Chain A
Amino acid sequence: MSYYFTILSPTDTPIFNIAFGTSKGGGDGIARFRFPDTAQYMNQFIIHSSLDIVEEAQWTNGGMYLKHVDTYPPAAAYISAFLTPSGARFLLLHQPPQLPNSNTGSLGSSSLLGPGGSTTRASSSSIAANPTSPQTEEAVRQFMNEIYESFVKTAMSPFYKQGMEIRSPVFRTKVTAAGKKWL
C-alpha cells in the first residue's frame, strides 16, 4: 500500500504533506504509486477532488474521523478524512498495490511486484489488502488520532498561526512514526 497524507487549512491551503508506503507485513515504508511519474500531481488532484464530499460529510457526521469518504477508481485511490474541530482537515490517500495480472509497465509498481515479495506483502496485511475493511478503518483512525495529538501541540504554540505551513522536522518524524506504527 502506498500513502499520501496531507493537512489542509480551513481555506484549502496545504500546510503539510508526505508520501510513504506501508511498513506492515514486511513493507519497507517507501511509497510506490501506480503512476510514479505523475503521482505527485495525481495525488493532489485526487485529494482535492474529494473535498466537496468531505464538506458534505462534515455537516452530517459530527465525528472527527469520517472514515473512508471517497474513491477514485482510475487510480484505485481511496481517501480517508479526519477533521479537527478548529477546521483543519487531515486527508489520507491510500492506494493498494496493483494485482500481479494487471499492467506492470511502470517503474514504481514493478519493483513492488518482484517475484515472491509482493504476494506475501499484500496478503499478510489486511490493511494493504483491503482499504475499506474494518481493520483498515481502525488503523487509519489510530494513525489520524496520533497525528492529531502532534497537530494540537503545534497549534498550541503562540507563534503558530492558523494556516501556517508546518515545517518542524520533529512533526514530520512523528507522522512518519505514526505511519510506520499503524499503516
Chain B
Amino acid sequence: MAAPRHSAMLSISNNVGTPQSTSSDKTQIAQPQSPAQTPGLRVPSNRKTIYDRHLNRSRNAELSRASFAYLFAEMVTYAQRRVTGIQDLEKRLNEQGYPLGLRLLDLLFYRATSTSSSALSSSSTSSSPPNRPLRILALLHLIHGPLWRLLFQRSADALEHSVSPDTPNEYMITDNDPLVNTYISVPREMSMLNCAAYIAGVIEGVCDGCGFEAKVSAHNQPTEMWPSRTVFLVRFGDTVMEREKVLERQGVK
C-alpha cells in the first residue's frame, strides 16, 4: 500500500448507506450521494438521455466544412479577445483541444471494441479488442492513423523521429494541409499564429490520456506545394523516456 494513496482512499464517497463521518471533509470531490439526493436532470417524456443514444450513430455523419470553419473562426476570435499575444492564444487553443483528445481517445477505443472491423488496426482480420498503446511508437501510430482518420478522414502525412541526439524525446507529425488552417484567415499582425494549436491540444490530450506525458506544439513549415503545411512537435517528458527504456528491455511491444 503506497502511503500517498491513503488520502484518496479516505475520500471515497459513501454509497452503501453506512454512516461514515470525518473522512469526507478531507476532500471536495465525491460527496456522499444517493439517487434520492440527486434527482438528476429532467428528461423528455420518451425518457431518452445521452445514455440511450448509440455512440456510433454519428460515426459516418458529415457536416459542412464551412460550418466548421465559421465555428472555429469564432472560437479563435473569442479566445483572441481574452489573451495577450500569440503565445497566449495558442496556449488557450491548445487547452481547448486537450479535453477533446481525451474524448476522442475513448470514442476510438469504444468503436474499435464494439465493431468487428477495428478502427484501430488496418488489418481487418484481427477481431480481438484493441490494445492500449504501451510504447511511444504505438501511440504515435494511433495518432497518425486512427485519430487523424476519425477527425479528417485521412491519415496524417508523415511521422518522424528527431535525428538530433540531444532530443531523442522529440517526434514530428506532419499534416500538409491541415483542415483548421484551410478556411481560417489569420489577421496579418498574427501571421505567426498557427490555429492548428487546437489540434496540437487534441494530440496532447491523447498522449496524456494514454499515460505519455507530453507537450505538443504546432509549427508552420510551408513548402512551395503546401503553403499551410504544419508540423506537430511532440516532446515527451523524462518519465516517459525512462519507462520507454525499461519496457524496451522487457521486450514489451
Contact yes or no, A62 B134, CB < 8 A: yes
Q: Find B211's partner among A37, A41, A44, A58 (CB 8 Å cutoff).
A: A58
Total chain B interface residues with beta-carbon distance under 8 A? 57
Contact yes or no, B133 A62, CB < 8 A: yes
Contact yes or no, B114 A86, CB < 8 A: no
Extra contacts, 11 of them, besides A40-B20, A48-B1, A145-B113 (Cβ < 8 A), are A15-B30, A31-B16, A59-B247, A62-B132, A63-B131, A64-B113, A85-B105, A153-B50, A165-B30, A165-B31, A168-B51
Residues of A within 8 A of B107 (CB): 152, 156
State the CA gap A120–B239 with chains docked (Å): 52
Of A95-103, A123-131, A169-177, the stretch lying at the interface with chain B is A169-177
State the CA gap A84–B43 with chains docked (Å): 28
Contact yes or no, A87 B113, CB < 8 A: no
Verify if B99 is at the interface (C-beta below 8 Å from A). Answer: yes
Q: Find B16's partner among A8, A40, A161, A168 (CB 8 Å cutoff).
A: A40
Verify if B185 is at the interface (C-beta below 8 Å from A). Answer: no
Chain B binding site: helix, strand, loop or mixed by DSSP?
A: loop
Total chain A interface residues with beta-carbon distance under 8 A? 58
Residues of B within 8 A of A167 (CB): 33, 38, 40
Q: Which residues does A use to contact B, with CB under 8 Å?
A: 6, 8, 10-15, 17-19, 31, 36-37, 39-41, 44-45, 47-49, 51-52, 58-60, 62-65, 83-87, 145, 148-157, 161-163, 165, 167-172, 174
Nearest Cβ on chain B to A132's Cβ, whole angstroms:
21
State the CA gap A18–B106 with chains docked (Å): 22
**A12/B129 contact (C-beta < 8 A), A87-B210, A167-B33 known:** no
Verify if B250 is at the interface (C-beta below 8 Å from A). Answer: yes
Residues of A within 8 A of B252 (CB): 59-60
Contact yes or no, A155 B103, CB < 8 A: yes
Nearest Cβ on chain A to B59's Cβ, whole angstroms:
13
Residues of B within 8 A of A84 (CB): 106, 109
Verify if B85 is at the interface (C-beta below 8 Å from A). Answer: no
Residues of A within 8 A of B29 (CB): 13-15, 163, 165
Interface digits, B97-117 against A, CB 8 Å rule (1 contact, 0 not)? 001001101111110011000
| CB nearest to A86 among chain B residues | B209
Residues of B within 8 A of A168 (CB): 40-41, 49, 51
Residues of B within 8 A of A156 (CB): 50, 55, 103, 106-107
State the CA gap A39–B106 with chains docked (Å): 32
